[in-house]
């Protein structure tokens, strides 16, 4: 944690996102009902914080079919327990279900005003031809709003991973068993978010490799059933470096995404790095 604080310095919005996420993940020990039959997921949701410095997650899903579709979000916290999420206009609950008419778009947001900073992930149950993405928003008084997208990951019976960037499908590939997450710590800090979308604990191996193919460092991430973690890749061994983080496990599916958060001359920038799936 100290190395993270040194790396981000006075970058308040980065501190609030990644440091709070790390602290929450370390503090969560209790387990409750774990997810089951997850066929699609959003690897990271976040909301809350001080009124002048708050996060929210917007979810945008469109039905491109010819019949009504059903969409259910099941929210989970870092410890894998169901998370009661306040959705604007629909109240606080651990699940929210919506009907989406043909050609219609569901656009909802999590209320950023009710809770302290909170992070987690969402299982997404879909019946019909609806698909979409999450959009993370960070608002600081007196500064432009920061925005980055988090993709919808499909797995299980649907057996495909659909990545969405800016609302445009960019690839369709098999469900993730191993993947590479780009990282860029040159005038940035890379944040990694990983969710275990299964009902069984799993341990993932992360290898940080620079653009030349040299191994910079390795670490393992142990996740209980349904658990989630978010952390900054700020170890001195990956400072001022860029490359990929290869992620591999025991063959169980998971959701993962990386974000690049600007520091120094890039302070205030926020972007998604889409994973490369093997």
Compute the average pLDDT of residues 73-92: 96
In sequence order, the β-bridge partners of residue 181 are 245
SS3 of 64, please?
coil
SS3 of 5, please?
helix
Residue 176 CA, distance from chain mean position:
15
Q: Is 75 exposed, middle or buried (0-12, 13-18, 19+ CB in 10 A)?
A: buried
Q: What is the pLDDT of residue 38?
A: 87
Most confident range (mean pLDDT) of 105-109, 141-145, 161-165, 200-204 is: 105-109
What six digits make up the tokens of 73?
């979000």
Nearest-5° angle of CA 96, CA 100, CA 103? Answer: 150
Compute the average pLDDT of residues 123-139: 92
Q: Contact at 8 Å (CB) between 60 and 150?
A: no
Of 40-49, 132-141, 155-164, the poorest mean pLDDT is in 155-164
Q: pLDDT digit string (tens) for 146-198?
A: 888 887 887 643 333 333 333 333 333 333 456 888 999 999 999 999 999 98
User: What distances in angstroms separate CA 47 from CA 24, 79, 164, 277, one per listed residue?
Assistant: 13, 16, 21, 28
What six digits make up the tokens of 140?
């600081």
Q: Is the dihedral of CA 112, 113, 117, 123 positive or negative?
A: negative
**Stated length of the chain:** 278
Residue linked to tokens 């940080």: 208
Q: Contact at 8 Å (CB) between 151 and 162?
A: yes
Distance CA 32, CA 89 (A): 27
More confident residue, 182 or 31: 182
More confident residue, 2 or 72: 72
pLDDT mean across residues, the chain:
79
Strand order in the sheet with 178-184: 215-223, 202-210, 242-248, 178-184, 276-277
With a CB cutoff of 8 Å and minimum separation 6, the contacts of 147 are 135, 136, 137, 138, 270
% of the chain with per-residue pLDDT over 90: 54
Q: Is 174 exposed, middle or buried (0-12, 13-18, 19+ CB in 10 A)?
A: exposed
Q: pLDDT digit string (tens) for 89-98?
A: 999 999 999 9
Q: What is the pLDDT of residue 34?
A: 64
């Amino acid at each position: 944690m100290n190395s993270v604080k040194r790396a981000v310095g006075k970058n308040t919005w980065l501190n609030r996102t990644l440091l709070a996420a790390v602290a929450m993940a370390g503090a969560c020990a209790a387990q409750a009902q774990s997810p089951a039959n997850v066929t699609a997921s959003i690897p990271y949701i976040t909301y809350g914080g001080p009124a002048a410095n708050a996060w929210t997650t917007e979810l945008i899903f469109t039905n491109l079919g010819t019949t009504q579709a059903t969409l259910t979000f099941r929210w989970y916290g870092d410890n894998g327990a169901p998370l009661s999420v306040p959705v604007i206009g629909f109240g606080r609950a651990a699940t929210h279900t919506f009907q989406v008419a043909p050609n219609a778009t569901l656009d909802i947001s999590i209320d950023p005003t009710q809770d302290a900073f909170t992070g987690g992930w969402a299982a997404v149950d879909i019946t019909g031809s609806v698909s979409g993405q999450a959009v993370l928003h960070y608002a600081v008084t007196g500064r432009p709003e920061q925005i980055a997208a988090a993709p919808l990951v499909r797995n299980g019976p649907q057996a495909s991973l659909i990545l969405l960037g800016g609302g445009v499908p960019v690839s369709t590939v098999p469900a993730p068993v191993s993947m590479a997450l780009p990282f860029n710590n040159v005038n940035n800090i890379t944040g990694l978010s990983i969710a275990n979308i299964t009902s069984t604990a799993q341990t993932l191996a992360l290898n940080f490799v620079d653009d030349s193919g040299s191994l910079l460092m390795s670490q393992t991430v142990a996740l209980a059933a349904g658990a989630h973690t978010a952390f900054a890749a700020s170890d001195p061994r990956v400072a001022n470096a860029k490359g990929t983080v290869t992620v591999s496990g025991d063959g169980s599916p998971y959701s993962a995404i990386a974000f690049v958060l600007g520091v120094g001359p890039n302070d205030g920038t926020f972007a998604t790095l889409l994973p490369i799936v093997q």
